């Protein structure tokens, strides 16, 4: 389980690194992936739901790491993929809809909150 967590964390860290290199201008990504809005929002909803479910499963059993650290990891790591995918869209698509990353982040956050808010339902 720790190997899988390390791989997933490394993947999302690499996504954030590529996005930051793109923002700085060292690694241009614009136009490499013609991704549509529906695909980006679908990815945001799937990542949000999966990250919320993983957070619920990890906090169900007491562990040595504090819950806030797991929360920050589950809420901050996956959006790196969303920002990376959006930065790979063509320039015309990015300029036509500049608030799409914000909306995708909101979709991710809402669908992250669903499993987290219902984690105690059915427990006694």
What would you report as the CA-atom Rg of the chain, rounded to the nearest whole angstrom?
16
Residues 6+ apart with CB under 8 A from 53: 115
Residue 124's pLDDT is what?
A: 60
pLDDT of residue 38: 87
Task: Output the pLDDT for position 79.
Answer: 94
SS3 99: coil
Please give the pLDDT value at position 86. Answer: 93
Q: Are 40 and 95 in contact (CB under 8 A)?
A: no
Question: Contact at 8 Å (CB) between 70 and 59?
Answer: yes
pTM, two decimal places: 0.86
Residue 33's contacts (CB-CB under 8 Å, 6 or more residues apart) are 85, 88, 89
List the Cα angle 76/12/37 in 5-degree steps. 80
Residue ranges in the chain modelled with pLDDT below 50: none
Which residues lie below 8 Å from residue 80, measured CB to CB, with a gap of 6+? 12, 13, 15, 16, 19
């Amino acid at each position: 389980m720790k190997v899988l967590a390390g791989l997933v964390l490394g993947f999302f860290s690499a996504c954030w690194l590529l996005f930051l290199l793109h923002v700085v201008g060292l690694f241009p990504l614009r136009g490499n992936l013609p991704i549509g809005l529906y695909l980006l929002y679908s990815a945001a909803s799937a990542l949000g739901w999966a990250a919320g479910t993983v957070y619920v499963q990890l906090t169900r059993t007491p562990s040595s790491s504090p819950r806030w650290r797991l929360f920050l990891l589950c809420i901050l790591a996956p959006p790196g993929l969303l920002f990376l995918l959006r930065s790979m869209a063509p320039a015309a698509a990015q300029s036509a809809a500049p608030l799409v990353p914000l909306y995708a982040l909101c979709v991710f956050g809402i669908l992250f909150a669903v499993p987290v808010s219902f984690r105690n339902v059915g427990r006694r």
